[in-house]
Amino acid sequence: NAANDATGTGKGVLGDTKTFDVTYSGGYYYLDGTSRGIEIATYDAKHVPYYSPNLPGTLIRSSSTTFSDPAAVDAHAYAERVYDYYKNTFGRNSYDNKGAPIISSVHVGNKWNNAAWIGTQMVYGDGDGTTFRTLSGGLDVIGHELTHAVTQSTADLIYQGESGALNESISDIFGAMIDSDDWDIGEDVYTPGIAGDALRSMSDPTKYGDPDNYANRYTGPDDNGGVHTNSGINNKAAYLMAQGGSAYGVQVSGIGRAKTANIYYRALNYYLYSSSNFSSMRQAAIQAATDLYGANSAEVNTVKNAYSAVGVY
Ligand code: ASN
Ligand code: ZN
Ligand code: CA
Ligand 1 and 82: CB distance under 6 A = no
Percent of the chain with pLDDT over 70: 100
Q: In whole angstroms, what is the distance from residue 159 CA to residue 24 CA?
A: 40
Helices (H), 123-255: 139-153, 161-178, 222-243
Q: How does the average pLDDT of the chain come out, rounded?
A: 98
Q: What is the pLDDT of residues 214-259, one digit of tens each?
A: 999 999 999 999 999 999 999 999 999 999 999 999 999 999 999 9
pLDDT at 137 over 90: yes
Phi/psi at 243 (nearest 5 deg)? Answer: -100, -20
Residue whose CA is at the smallest distance from ligand 1 atom 3: 116
The helix/strand/coil state of 257 is helix
Ligand 1 atom showing the smallest separation from residue 168 Cα: 9
User: In the predicted model, what is the mean pLDDT of residues 103-132?
Assistant: 98
Residue 244 burial (CB count, 10 A): 16
pLDDT of residue 210: 99
Q: What is the pLDDT of residues 201-218, one digit of tens each?
A: 999 999 999 999 999 999
Q: Strand 5-11's sheet: what is its strand order?
A: 61-62, 28-30, 17-25, 5-11, 66-67
Of 26, 134, 133, 155, give the one whose Cα is nearest residue 71.
Answer: 134
pLDDT of residue 1: 64
Interface predicted TM-score of the whole assembly (ipTM), two decimals: 0.94
Q: In whole angstroms, what is the distance from residue 261 CA to residue 243 CA?
A: 12
Q: What is the pLDDT of residues 55-79, one digit of tens each?
A: 999 999 999 999 999 999 999 999 9
Ligand 1 atom showing the smallest separation from residue 145 Cα: 4
Q: What is the pLDDT of residues 1-17, one digit of tens each?
A: 677 999 999 999 999 99
pLDDT of residue 3: 76
Mark whether 145 is an active-site residue. Answer: yes
115 C-alpha to center of ligand 2: Å? 8
Residue whose CA is at the smallest distance from ligand 1 atom 7: 116
Contacts of 305 (CB under 8 A, 6+ apart): 240, 250, 251, 252, 253
pLDDT of residue 215: 98
Q: Considering the candidates 80, 145, 187, 299, report the single residue annotated as catalytic.
A: 145
